[in-house]
Amino acid sequence: MHRNQLLFVTVLALGIGPSCADKVTAPPDPELLEPPSGPVARSARGNLRFKGPERINQDFAAALELRPDAVCLELGQYSCTGLVHNVALGGVDPYGPGLYESSGVTASTTPLAVERVAWAACTQRVDTDLATPAASVIFREVPLTGKKLASPDGAEVRGVIGLLTQRVLLRNPYRNEVERYVRLAKDIESTGNAEPARAWMQAVCFAILTSTESVFY
Amino acid sequence: MKKHTFRWMIVSVLVAASTDAPAKPPAGGVFCQKYPTSPECMGRQPSCTYCHIAPPQRNAFGTMVSQSLLPGLPRPLSDGDFAAALPSALTAVEGQDADGDGVPNLTEIQQGTQPADPNSKPLDAACQGSDNPQFSVCRYDLRHAYKKVVRDLCGASPTFAEVTAFAARPSDDDRRAFIDSEVERCAQTEFWRGKNGQLWKVAHPKIRPVGSLKEGEDKGGVPLADYYDDYALFAYTQTDDHDAREILTADYFVRRETSPTRYSKVSSLASQKVDLAHRAGNMTSKWSLTYFVMFTALPRNAAAQMYRSYLGLDIAKQEGLYSVASEPQDYDAKGVTAKECAACHATLDPLTYPFRNYNGIASSRYETQYIPNRLEIFFPNVSPRITQTPERGVIFGKPVNDLREWAKVAADSDAFAISTTTDYWKLLVGHAPKPEENAEFVATWKRFKSVHNYRVQRLLHDIVKTEAYGAP
């Protein structure tokens, strides 16, 4: 190999290898918001809109860094939001049954479909993060003791709660939200779950993704 | 009294009442002369259901008005007597509350709510409570509007970092300018203009596709016409600096290319058959003529669908009735001169005549094109007078010589501007304009027509700037 070629290959190898900047670090302890002390001002218009299939899929994918076409697939191949649960999530189906317009209201099966999509997205993210900690996206550097969280109220856990809140709800978490999700970790552990760390990660992700604030705007 | 005799009496009273109390087509016009600032009269007229459950049966408000309308005079009243007496009858019931919702009839008329519907009344929009750390609930909230714009037009939420950066912008003017730039950016996305994107969703109820009849891309089992051409013209007229009216008036076609989606104007398409001299936008597309004209001599369905889709006037709901004297003529002998039919057909039939030469499903040589003397050639035996059907018609009381003139009058009407603005209002705000939003809505459609010269992309900016959109 010529010297120039060798130099080129070396540069390439260095370029695609892990660098110091790529090292996965735990999310920082979030800046906490103080919950309001009394009732907040109510909206006079009350014009809350359900996100619908496309936005839910895109938002879950972006928040958890999943491929939009793989957020949720029934039987591993049929898109939950684009096909199987599209109408339940407020979509239209104009070419077949002639459903030209969305009903405009959420149906009795809509919450089930939202939860189906959120669960698929969260379990994917948790599985991937636990399987490849060096490339984890959300549950980064969360110390474990066996299958348990080493420190349910540690800074890393609070950091994960903060990161999820920022990515899904586009704000920092309230102090009482963090306390609630920390308590959730302890509650799960007390149930005797065989993998309490994984179960907490799935649960906190699911709780935030399916919150009213996440699926309505 | 025997039971069956009593039943007959009830039936007789109902029949007598129904024959003596037909809906009066002049009512809408007279109402709007008396209450020109009512939201019901902003570019339209109240439909028959304002006073009727279904004509001739009256609702609570209609019943109240009728009791004050020349009491004692024999029914039915002539149209002249009715029109002359209606204003004072309306005045007489202004202070009353027909639906018992606590709001007087006059207030409901002025606010645009329904005086016969207790669930329809002006909203008390006063702000309640103290503070709200996340939203400015009593006024336009720029942060809220920014997130909504990105979600509505781009199809996904902004990131936390983007929201933080938005809040850190130096001034509200800068934030407003940034929202404007986001509207422009998002209007270029596939989510907005691509296949099955938001514009296509607006078009679905107008085009009414049927997958099994689809020709070309995504071909169905019985391919008859390619309605993607209709979506292409629709999307083209609603984007960039194009005139939305050309959805009705275009004498050209639009080709769609993909990855990324682009729409371009062309003078012919292999999938379309109407010649340019007789083309009137999507009203004369191969799909419209296939699906809405089909095999019909006088395709009332086609006229009614265009009236509904592009002008927002549903004749089946007694909307947009502008009766033409001496109509309906009933050239195809369908019995539409019967009293129960004539109230709507006096408007619908003259709307339909300009379609007389547009052929629907036929052999490939004659299908979906303009054929002079079509009725004489293909439908001479439908009825004795069918060939007397004129091509001249009437829309909004204006005579038109052919479908292209029909399209021009329709496209220049307030109804078209209102219907188009309503489409995007519903898409972005999330519902049809509510009474408390009426002032903003009227200002918006008027600007769409005058200032923006029917450019939808500019309309989007206006809607985004309304309190209805940006106040949480």
Distances in Å between the alpha carbon of B242 and those of B178, B246, B373, B389, B410? 23, 8, 35, 36, 18
Min Cα distance A200 → chain B (Å) is: 23
Owning domain of residue A98: 49-215
Q: Is residue A19 part of a domain?
A: no
Facing residue for A41 by CB, picked from B128, B160, B205: B128
Q: Cα separation of B9 and B279, whole Å?
A: 56
Q: Which residue has the higher pLDDT, B15 or B32?
A: B32
The tally of domains found in chain A comes to 1
- What is the dihedral sign for C-alpha B330, B332, B338, B344? negative
**pLDDT of A86 strictly over 50:** yes
Distances in Å between the alpha carbon of B38 and those of B41, B122, B283, B368? 5, 13, 32, 43
Percent of chain B with pLDDT over 90: 76
B468 to chain A: which residues are within 8 Å by CB? 45, 47
Contact A170 B163 (CB under 8 A): yes
Strand bridging mode B57-58 / B52-54? antiparallel
- Note if the bond before B133 is cis, omega within 30 degrees: no
Size of interface A-B (CB pairs under 8 A): 95
Q: Cα separation of B66 and A18, whole Å?
A: 84
- Three-state secondary structure call for residue A180: helix
Taking alpha carbons only, the member of A137, A147, A168 closest to residue A59 is A168
Percent of chain B with pLDDT over 70: 93
pLDDT confidence band for B17 (50 / 70 / 90):
very low
Min Cα distance B8 → chain A (Å) is: 42
Kindly give, in sequence order, each residue whose CB lies less than 8 Å from that of residue B329, ignoring residues fewer than 6 positions away. B349, B385, B388
Average pLDDT over residues B139-168: 97
Q: Among A150-154, B65-69, B126-130, B169-173, whose mean pLDDT is lowest?
A: B126-130
pLDDT of residue A23: 67
Q: Among A138-152, B53-67, B290-304, whose mean pLDDT is lowest?
A: B53-67
Do B293 and B277 form a contact (C-beta atoms < 8 A)?
no
B67-71: Cβ within 8 A, 24+ apart: B68/B92, B68/B93
pLDDT, tens digit (0-9, with 9 covering 90-100), for B263-297: 999 999 999 999 999 999 999 999 999 999 999 99
Q: Is residue A13 part of a domain?
A: no
Q: Cα separation of A59 and A89, whole Å?
A: 14
**CB atoms < 10 A from the CB of B188, how many?**
16
pLDDT of residue A18: 39
Contact A171 B127 (CB under 8 A): no
Distances in Å between the alpha carbon of B333 and those of B29, B324, B386? 30, 18, 8
pLDDT of residue A7: 44
Facing residue for A40 by CB, picked from B133, B201, B209: B133
Q: Is residue A15 part of a domain?
A: no
pLDDT of residue A24: 74
pLDDT of residue B298: 98
pLDDT of residue B56: 77
Q: Is residue A43 part of a domain?
A: no
Min Cα distance B113 → chain A (Å) is: 16
Q: Which residue has the higher pLDDT, A216 or B110?
A: A216
pLDDT, tens digit (0-9, with 9 covering 90-100), for B249-266: 999 999 999 999 999 999
Facing residue for B209 by CB, picked from A38, A43, A94: A94
